[in-house]
Structure 1
C-alpha cells in the first residue's frame, strides 16, 4: 500500500509499510552503508513513476544498497517534495536521492541543501532549477514528441484535424513534449492543430480534456496524448460518444468518433494492451527502467568513492522507441507484458 505524504505529518510518508528495503548493511570497510531515497513525482495513479521506483529498487537490490521509496501527494506537490527532502537531510541516513522533480522551478534550494549535507542528487525524467544535482537521466522529450508528430501525420495522410492532450502545466516534461509535438505537426500544412489542453497526466484528466475538445470539434482525425493514461481516457470518451451518436441515429458521426486515431506517450503496459485491442495506433515509449536503474548505479559509484560528480555527464539520454502495431509484440516481450 502507498502511504500518502501530507504537510501535517510529522514524519515522512513511505511505501512498504514504512520500512526500508534492507538490502545491505555494511560496506567492505565495515562502516554503515548510507541509504538511497527514491522520490518520484507521485505514486498515485502514475504507472510511469511507479516503474522508475521499481527499477531503482531492483538495482539497489542487485548492488546491495538499502533503499527507501517515498511518495508526495500529487505530481504537482512541490512543497511535499521539499518537505520530504528536508526530512531526509535531517535523518542523516542517506547518501543519495533519485528525484523526479514535480516542477522545473522550486526545488533548486532544497537540492542545494542536500548537496551541502553530503547527499548526491540524481534527477530522473525531469530536471529542476539550480546546478547542484549530479546529472539528469531523461528522455529527449522534444525529439521524442517530434517522432510522435511525424508518425501521427503519416497515420492521417498528412492532412486532417488533430488535438493534443498536454501534461501538467509548469513541469519541464510537459513543456518539452508540447513543444516537440507542436513543432513537429507544424511542418505539415495540411494538418490543423485545433486544440491543445492539459490532462494532468492521468486517465481522469484525459477524460475531462477530451470531453472539452470534442464538445467543439466533432471532426477530429487524431489525438496525441502526452501520456498513455490520458490517451486511455480519451478513448473511453470517444467510445461513449460514438455509442451516443449511434443511439441518436447519427451513424456518420458515430463512425467519425470511432475512427479517431490515438497516439500515446510513455510505453506503459496499458498502452500495449490498447494497441493490441486496436484502440491506440501507437505510443512513444520511454525507458523508466533505464532511468531508475542508471540513477542508482551512479549513486552507488559516488557513495562508494569510485567516481566523482565531475566524472558523470550532466545529462544522460535514456532513449525512446516508437511502438506500433507492427512491433508491439516484440516490445511487449521486452517489458514483460503478455496477452490475456
Structure 2
C-alpha cells in the first residue's frame, strides 16, 4: 500500500500528467465527446462512484443532443487536481464550466478565476462555498435526509441507538443530508444518535468505520449512511446482522443500493436522479453561453425507496 507521502507525490504527478494531456488535446484523465460545437468542461469529483458515472452519462447525452463538445475530467477526490483541471479547461477554450466539487469549502480557488474571467460556472450536486456561481443544480438533500430519518425510525420501532456514516467533510451534500436527518430524527424521543463519523462516501472506508463503531456501540440498531456506497460497506461489515439486527438506510438509489433494498439487507434508500442532474447542468451551461437567463438554483426531486416500491426504480 502507498504511504501518505507517496500518495501525495502520486497525486501531484497525476495532476501534471492531466495538465499535459489536456493541453495536447487528449483525454487520458477524462473523456471528450467531440461534436464541433462550443466546448463545455465537466469537472467531476470522482468517477469511482456509480452515482457520478450516471451524472456524467446524463451530461454526455445532453451534450450530444445540444451539439456541444463536453470535456470530462475526473479529480479522483483531490481538490488540488480539480483546481488544475479548472485552469486547463479555461486554457482549452471552454465556454462554460460545470463543477461537481470534491469539497465545497475548498472549491473556491478553482472557481474564482473562472468567474473573474466572466466564464459561466454551473455547480452540480455540491455547491461552491463563498462563490456566486451562474447556477446551482442539486437534489433536495435536506428533504432526503429527513425522509431517511422517518423511514429508519419506522424500521427500528422508533427506539434504540443509531449511528451516522458521514460523507466527505466540507461537501454541501454531506452537510445537507446530515442536517436533514438529524433535525427529523429528534422528533423520535426513543432514538439516540450515539456516533457520527466520516467514511468519505467510500465503501471500503465505511466497512472499517462501521466495524470500529459497532465494537464501541454493539447495541446499535440502525445506521444512516449518507450514500449507498457507504451503506454497502456497512452491510459488508455487519454480515448476517445487516437488515436483521441492524437496519441500514442509504442515499442515492444506485444500482447496488437498489439491489440491497430488494434483498432486504438495506431498509431503503433515497433515490436521486443523477442523469437528470447531469442533463440539467449541461442545459444550463448552454443557455448561459448563449446569453439566455438561467435559474439561479434548481432543485431535483428525491424519492424514498423501500422494499415495497423498489421494483419501480430497477
Answer 1 or 2: which has greater helix percent: 2
| Count of paired positions | 299
- Whether the 8 Å contact between 1:36 and 1:67 is mirrored in structure 2 is yes
TM-score by length of 2: 0.89
Q: Identify if the C-alpha distance between structure 1 residues 12 and 224 changes in structure 2 by more than 3 Å, giving closer, same or farther.
A: farther
Is the aligned partner of 1:66 residue 2:75?
no
How many angstroms does 1:276 deviate by?
1.5
Distance 1:231 1:130, change over 3 A: same
Q: Which residue number corresponds to residue 233 of structure 2? A: 233
**Structure 1 contact 95–118 (Cα < 8 Å) conserved:** no
Q: Is the aligned partner of 1:300 residue 2:286?
A: yes
Q: Do structure 1's residue 324 and structure 2's residue 306 form an aligned pair?
A: yes
78-87 vs 106-115, greater mean Cα deviation: 106-115
The corresponding residue for 1:30 is none
Unaligned runs of 5+ in 2: 1-10
State the shift of 1:118 in Å: 4.1
Alignment partners' CA distance in 2, 1:165 and 1:280:
14
Shift of 1:271: 0.7
Give the conservation status (yes or no) of the 8 Å contact 1:282–1:323.
yes
Backbone CA RMSD of aligned residues: 2.0
Residue 277 of structure 1 is matched in structure 2 by 263
CA distance in 1, matches of 2:21, 2:179: 36
Question: Is 2:42–2:98's contact at 8 Å kept on the other side of the alignment?
Answer: yes
The structure with the largest alpha-carbon Rg is 1
Is the contact between residue 228 and residue 257 of structure 2 (CA under 8 Å) also seen in structure 1?
yes
Structure 2 counterpart of 1:36: 40
Moved over 3 A (4+): 12-19, 255-258
1:290 matched residue in structure 2: 276
Residues in 1 aligned to 2:94 and 2:229: alpha-carbon distance in whole angstroms: 33
What runs of 5+ residues in structure 1 fail to find an aligned partner?
26-32, 243-254, 333-340
Secondary structure in 1 matching 2:251: strand
Indicate the residue corresponding to 1:82 in structure 2: 83
Q: Deviations over 1:156-210 (max 9, x none)?
A: 1211121111111122211221111111111111011111111110110110110
CA displacement at 1:17 relative to structure 2: 7.9
Q: Distance in 2 between matches of 1:12 and 1:258?
A: 50
User: What is the alpha-carbon distance in structure 2 between the residues aligned to residue 325 and residue 42 of structure 1?
Assistant: 29
Q: Which residue of 2 aligns with 1:248?
A: none
Counterpart position of 2:297: 315
Residue 98 of structure 2: SS of its match in structure 1? strand
Change beyond 3 A, Cα 1:219–1:117: same
Instruction: Tell me the SS of whatever aligns to 1:105.
Output: helix
Contact 2:31-2:72 within 8 A present in 1 as well: no
Does the 8 Å CA contact 2:242/2:248 hold for their aligned counterparts?
A: no
Query: 2:7 maps to which residue?
Result: none
SS of the residue 2:214 aligns to = helix
Distance 1:15 1:150 in 2: 44
Checking the alignment, whether the CA contact within 8 Å between 2:166 and 2:178 is kept in structure 1 is yes
Alignment-derived partner of residue 176 in structure 2: 176
Distance 2:156 2:284 in 1: 43
CA–CA separation in structure 2 for the residues paired with 1:18 and 1:181? 34
Partners of 1:12 and 1:70 within 8 A in 2: no
Secondary structure of the residue aligned to 1:189 is coil
Separation (CA, whole Å) in 2 of partners of 1:171 and 1:90:
27
**Length-normalised TM-score, structure 1:** 0.83
Contact 2:199 2:230 in 1 (8 A): yes
Post-superposition shift, 1:256?
Answer: 8.8
Residue 49 and residue 12 in structure 1: after superposition, are their counterparts in 2 closer, same or farther (change >3 A)?
farther
Structure 1 CA distance for aligned equivalents of residues 16 and 232 of structure 2: 34
